[in-house]
Chains A and B, each alone.
Chain A
Amino acid sequence: MTLEVRKPGLSTTVQDAGRNGHYDVGIPPSGALDQYSLLAANQLVGNPAGAAALECVYMGPELVFTEDAVVAVAGASMQPKVDGEERPLWESFPVSAGQVLSFGYLTGGARAYLAVSGGVAVPEVLGSRSTYALGALGGHEGRPLQEGDVLPVGADGASTPGRSVPEQLRSSFSKDVEVRVMMGLYDHRLTEGGRETFLGTTWTLTPTADRIGFRYKGAELETVEREPPFGAGQDPSNIVDAPYPIGSIQVPGSVEPIILHRDAVSGGGYMMIATVLSGDLDVVAQCAPNSRTRFVAVDLDEALAIRAERRKRIDALKEAVGS
């Protein structure tokens, strides 16, 4: 079966759990920016956890189904509709052949995930169906969806309408969030005061918030004076071009920190001062421009404990929804 794109939405892409092993040549992991919501949507329609779904940003697409299917929407609050009739979020529901699936306005979060039983079956590239638009790679022709696109859907989908994620396992979205980070990388380029400013400031997300990176406004960070090392460049925020971890926070010009997300540029010459915990990248993914973020520093043991908690939450989700 296929999905026909009647309206593409603002920036709808095919995403799965991501691709590993090619970041060394600048091909980032890509994949759903909010992995928890992807997993929930897949779980609801009986797909494997990492199956490909549609990531819908701010404004959803309009899709025509050529055959009967079961779908689910998790993540940002964008009410799904079938032929104009509202359907629930975080629950699976059927769509019949010829019906149109559309979305209401965004009322919370930023990215909704639409899973279809059988999964979106675009070809795998380097082991993943995820779209990496900067490299014109993967997904549907390496780009966000356009009007008239036709997407294949896997034939062996389960039929699991009426499944639901319990309230306590649904993500909730706020315009004020805390994002946990581990300090490090080049944070020694900041003075003690610069580090305090970073952790003490409430940062406002700018409109530059896409799959590559999220840029924030709020304060200027004080740096340590130095003689620039050979090859680094003159600005105090310059370093000899180095690899960028996914989730790393760089601060070009010591103002406007940028969190690199899953379509990250893989390296460059700006000091990185902290890295967002992998699980909290889901929180970042659901932030819309003008929302406010505070960064909270944790150490490795705390980060691993947070990771273990997240794993428990995922296990609870699988248990509750069924597989």
Chain B
Amino acid sequence: MSTTEVATARYSWGGDDHIFVELAEEMSLLAMFRAMAITNRLRDERPDGVLDICPANASYQVRYDPDVIEPRTLLALLQDVEAQVGDATDVALATRVVEIPVLYRDPWTTETLMRFRDRHQDPDVTDIEYAARINDFSSVDEFIAAHSGSPWITSMVGFVAGLPFLYQMVGRERQLVVPKYLRPRTDTPKQTVGHGGCFGCIYSVRGAGGYQMFGITPAPIYDPKQTMPDFEDFMVFFRPADVVRFVPIDRERYDAYLADVEAGTFRITARPVEFHAREFLNDPDGYNRRLLEETP
């Protein structure tokens, strides 16, 4: 997999002050690596007039001030960067491996999902039972083992402040795929671990949502008041390219972590790594194993 055919990106004006760039119509790790490589380079160059550089799963956008940088000049610059980056398999991302403890089948998301059964594909079972069945697992436990058994990569941060979109770092045939709710819920507990389409997510704040709900993490991931130790520098924990490992925990452990959160001492376990796209693509499972086992 040393050379890869990459389609030319599709560029579109988003009104008079955004350029939207779709790198691929379908989701893939390659498209995501390209989005990250291009936006990282753009961030380093940061031309005057560029206000926001937003990488997403298989696309990105730039918000800019057209009174400072002429739209067609910026477009040409983005096309240049795309050409320089190429297929992005050489990309090395300075990132982190982050452990997120998860209480699967918790009482809070269960209570919430029961309130919105009329918006669900299968009102007679819970979200995780439904997801296990349509992904051909014989039990919810098997589903949890798959959900927590391979790492995920943060392919986008957003929707609302600090919410990570996560893409499982396995071949397409092993991707967990579930539809979103038929109609979105008006409520989702804070720190719900959810899934929609091929993406996992952690809801950073309480609010509306359409993803299936599997469990909840005690770990705060957004702290606008910046009172907790993980948020001294910035109110958002996740950054694009963070590698996430879900660690199943029981209620006792959950309550212990929650006590730490309330005492202001809780910290998410995270360690820096350099992620090499090519090494990963050559041997995903082997690379994932080394990534997770590597001692600090």
Contacts and interface: CB of A to CB of B under 8 A. Distances in A.
B157 A24 contact: yes
Nearest to A136: B224
A18 to B, nearest CB: 10
A242 B59 contact: yes
B56 A243 contact: yes
Interface stretch (B95-103, B193-201, B245-253, B260-268): B193-201
A275 B15 contact: yes
B157 A25 contact: yes
B212 to A, nearest CB: 12
A24 B54 contact: yes
Interface of A: 20-27, 125, 132, 134-137, 142, 181-182, 184-185, 229-234, 238, 240-243, 245-248, 265-269, 272, 275-279, 300, 303-304, 306-307, 311
Given A241-B197, A311-B67, 20 more contacts: A22-B236, A24-B53, A134-B161, A142-B224, A182-B16, A184-B13, A229-B25, A231-B26, A233-B180, A240-B24, A240-B57, A242-B22, A243-B20, A245-B63, A246-B18, A248-B15, A275-B18, A278-B17, A304-B66, A307-B67
A178 to B, nearest CB: 16
Given A241-B199, A243-B20, A135 B222 contact: yes
Contacts of A21: 51-52
B26 A25 contact: no
A24 B57 contact: no
Contacts of A184: 12-14, 20
Contacts of B76: none
B16 A300 contact: yes
B156 interface: yes
6 contacts: A24-B240, A26-B236, A137-B161, A240-B27, A242-B22, A243-B56
Contacts of A241: 56-57, 156, 159, 165, 197, 199
B83 to A, nearest CB: 21
A266 B18 CA distance: 13
A245 B18 contact: yes
A274 B159 CA distance: 19
The secondary structure that dominates the A interface is mixed
A232 B52 contact: no
Nearest to A268: B159
Contacts of B152: none
A92 B80 CA distance: 50
A302 B198 CA distance: 39
A149 B253 CA distance: 40
B204 to A, nearest CB: 8
Interface residues of B, number: 56
Given A246-B63, A300-B71, A277 B158 contact: no
Contacts of A142: 224
Nearest to B28: A230
Interface of B: 12-18, 20, 22, 24-28, 39, 51-61, 63, 66-67, 71, 156-163, 165, 172, 179-180, 196-199, 204-205, 207, 222, 224, 235-236, 238-240
B26 A232 contact: yes
Which 5 interchain pairs have the tightest Cβ spacing?
A231-B27, A245-B14, A275-B15, A26-B158, A229-B26
Given A21-B51, A241-B56, A266-B54, A137 B235 contact: yes
Contacts of A25: 157-158, 161-162, 236, 238-239
A152 to B, nearest CB: 18
B172 A135 contact: no
Contact of B224 (A137, A231, A242, A267): A137
B13 A275 contact: yes
Contacts of B55: 24
A26 B59 CA distance: 15
Greatest chain A CB density within 10 A among B18, B59, B198 is at B18
B52 A231 contact: no
A250 to B, nearest CB: 12
A234 B71 contact: no
A230 B71 contact: no
A240 B199 CA distance: 9
A230 B172 contact: yes
Nearest to B18: A245
A232 B15 contact: no
A241 B166 CA distance: 11
B268 to A, nearest CB: 16
Given A24-B54, A25-B238, A136-B205, A307 B16 contact: yes
B161 A243 contact: no
A25 B239 CA distance: 7
A142 B225 CA distance: 10
Greatest chain B CB density within 10 A among A22, A135, A304 is at A135
A114 to B, nearest CB: 25
A116 B157 CA distance: 37
A226 to B, nearest CB: 9
A24 B158 contact: yes
Given A22-B52, A245-B20, A230 B15 contact: no
Nearest to B63: A23
A135 B222 CA distance: 9
Contacts of A275: 13-15, 18
Contacts of B160: 26, 134-135, 265-266
B205 to A, nearest CB: 7
A24 B46 CA distance: 14
